[in-house]
Amino acid sequence: MSTTPSNESSRMTSSIGSSSDATALVEEHLPLVNHVVFQVAVHFPRHVDRNDLINAGAIGLVEAARRFDESRGVPFNRFAAQRIRGAIIDAVRAADWAPRSVRTLARRLDSVEQRLAANLGRLPSIGETAAELGISTEEVHALRERVFRSVVLAFEHVASESPDEELTLIDVLADDGREPDAELEDRELKAYLREAVAHLPERHRLIVVGYFIQERTSEDLARFLGVTESRISQMRTEALGMLKRGIEAQYSHRAEEPQGLIERRRADYARRIAESSEVTERIGERSEPDSDRAFCDEIDRLVDLVST
């Protein structure tokens, strides 16, 4: 029996080598990782953390040192560069949950917009981008929405471009610190206020809606209702008082019967506010928030007025 090792055995020995040899290769070629990262990073979005790429590249370098076969005649730096690049790409793909089709669309959209910007000397409009792509503006909006939804940022991502102020994403994210119970209370208060406005006497409701929501002047409202501006001011004060008392009644538990005509009217007004909706409707999210966004903004202003 021959004692000469087979070609396969020689290749195994040459490929694996000693642990100290592999460690020496890794330490000697660590700068290669940064070089490859610098080359491939330009093809990735800015939100991709460069440190993650370096870590993936370092793993690729270690794998290259373990598998390097000097007998193949390929220089280690060339063999390692391919392994490092492959490890980086694999790591990015593994962390990317968006389908490849979205990434292809994103690259196409970005390419078209860059070309148009270079030709026009300015950022292209939606219509110009749509015409270049041969699709409608609605499809461009839908495409952008798909691309934006596919972007995932780490909280540690640096959001500031100033070298003197390294703000991470978590530093700049808006956070009002609102707890769930506070959010539900706010929804309930706004729902009560909506109902309170709706149940005001007609002329008072017209003044509240006209003045606070439609931003009409006291002069316009006085002309419309056929009264003086001072009367408009008086009725506006009366309406705010009614709103304030009607909402406060929703949070009180008064057991005694109201006495007198005015007290009975106030109690009836508060009852109609309470019976206008169920608690689940008041604290639930509105089904069409966009349709009354402006109204909600004005309601915020009214909340401040009736809460003071």
Give the residue from 108, 130, 151 where a domain finishes. Answer: 151
* CA 85 distance to own-chain centroid: 31
Q: Clarify whether residues 252 and 224 are in a common domain.
A: yes
Residue 216 is given by DSSP the state: -
What CA–CA distance (Å, rounded) separates 205 from 235? 10
Domain holding 77: CATH number?
1.10.1740.10
Q: How far is CA 22 from CA 17, 33, 85, in A?
A: 7, 16, 19
Q: Clarify whether residues 222 and 106 are in a common domain.
A: no
Bridge partners (DSSP) of residue 158 are 168
- pTM of the full predicted structure? 0.41
Task: Please list the alpha-helical segments (H only) found in 177-290.
Answer: 180-198, 202-208, 218-225, 229-248, 260-274, 279-283
| Residue 156, domain member (yes or no) | no
Full pLDDT tens readout for the chain, 308 residues:
444 444 443 443 344 445 677 788 888 888 999 888 888 776 666 656 778 888 888 998 998 888 888 888 888 888 888 889 888 877 776 665 556 666 677 778 878 888 888 888 777 888 888 888 888 888 888 777 766 655 555 544 554 555 555 555 555 555 556 677 777 888 888 888 888 998 999 899 889 888 887 778 899 889 988 999 999 999 999 999 999 999 888 888 766 777 888 888 888 998 899 888 888 877 776 655 444 555 555 555 655 555 55
Domain holding 140: CATH number?
1.10.10.10
Domain extent at residue 303:
180-307
Q: Clarify whether residues 84 and 197 are in a common domain.
A: no
If one counts the domains in the chain, the total is 3
Q: Clarify whether residues 125 and 232 are in a common domain.
A: no
Bridge partners (DSSP) of residue 168 are 158
Please name the amino acid found at residue 218: S
Phi, psi (rounded to 5 degrees) for 158 = -75, 120
| Residue 168, domain member (yes or no) | no
